[in-house]
Amino acid sequence: MSQPAKISAWVIEFFFYSFIGWIYETILTTVIWGHFADRGMLHLPICPIYGFCAIVLILIFKKVKNVPMIFILGAFFTTAAELAASYFLELFTDERLWDYDNWAFNFQGRIALGSSIIFGILCVILIKFLHPLALKICEKINGRILDIIALVMLVLVIGDLLWVIL
C-alpha cells in the first residue's frame, strides 16, 4: 500500500471507529434513558473521541499480543481519556455530557468501573478483530479509491464541524 493510501486507511478507520462509538453511545443511552438519544455532537452519526482513542490504542498496542494486558491497559487508557474528555467538554460546552452518578464505583460521575470494564473489552475487540479486519479490507481496495473515500469523509466532517461551530 502506498503512503497516501496508508494515510487514507487511517482516516477511514478513524471514521469507522467514530461511527461505532456513536452506535455504542446511542444504544447505551437510549436503553438507559428509555428514549432515543443521539449522542453525537455533530450532525453526522459519529463520536470523534472514539475514533481518536481507537487510533491511539492501535498505535500503542500494535505489538502487544497478550489479551489480558490489552484489556487492563486499554481499560486504563480509555478511562483516563474519558475522564479528561469529561473535563474538557464540560469546560467548552458548559454541560456534563454523561453522568455515572448512579453507577457503582464511580468518580464524580465522570468515570465508573463498569464503563472501564466495557472499554477494556472493546479494546480487545478493536486490537484483535476490528483493526486486522479493517487492514485486510483496505488492502483489497485500490489505493486511489481509498484516497477518494478518505477525502470525501474528511470534507463531510469538516463541513459538519463548520456547520456546528459557525
pLDDT attached to residue 117: 97
Q: How far is CA 141 from CA 6, 18, 149, 150, in A?
A: 11, 21, 10, 12
Model-level pTM? 0.86
pLDDT at 32 over 90: no
Dihedral pair phi/psi, residue 106, rounded to 5°: -105, 160
The mean predicted confidence, pLDDT, of the chain is 90
The residue ranges of every structural domain in the chain are 3-159
pLDDT tier at 3, thresholds 50, 70, 90: low
Instruction: Quick: pLDDT tens for 39-58.
Output: 777 889 999 889 999 999 99
